[in-house]
Amino acid sequence: MTDDWRDDRIGSALRGENPTVLGETKAGFAVIGDTQFLPGYSVLLSRTPGPTALAELPRPERVQFLADTDLLATAVERACRRVGEGFTRINIDILGNKDAFVHAHVWPRFDWEDEVRRRYPVWLYDGANWADPAHALGPQHDELRQAISDELAAAQAEFSD
């Protein structure tokens, strides 16, 4: 595994070198987020390197990507209900403002969040949350990570066409 997998998240996933991969979908790779200030935060990476926005994917790939985002959101919701505490809902964001590749953020939300934060997008959290070592993905997230992987496989089996 190379140390620079973060520099090419999709390429490293395609090569089997991205350690955050939870599972594959038809359209991409489900990965657990580098930060876990909201435990279970995950991202769907398109398996197609190159396009920088959802609209750049051909329509069939775009529709599949959106369906697979739903699968990941279902998996995160089920896993957070099973092993998390205070889970309330899922937020999905497809922004494309910072990273120049197609991806969708799946954010679990919790009743233990400050009420002001809970009512607004995650992006309004202080930026320090993304870099705080206390929230970094690590072995303490293994149970949740496994639960999301298991739920993703179950959702894919349940909803396959």
DSSP letters, 47-75, are: S-SS--SGGGS-HHHHHHHHHHHHHHHHH
pLDDT at 2 over 80: no
Q: How confident is the model at residue 161 (pLDDT cuts 50, 70, 90)?
A: low
Determine the number of helices (DSSP H) and then strands (DSSP E) in the chain: 5, 5
Rg (alpha carbons) of the chain, rounded to whole number: 15
Supply 155's token pair. Answer: 């959702």
Tens of pLDDT along 39-92? 999 999 999 888 999 999 999 999 999 999 999 999 999 999 998 789 999 999
pLDDT at 1 over 60: no
In the 8-state DSSP scheme, what is residue 95?
-
In angstroms, the CA 61 to CA 66 distance is 9
Between 71 and 6, the higher pLDDT residue: 71
Tabulate helix, strand, coil % of the chain (nearest 5).
Answer: 45, 20, 35
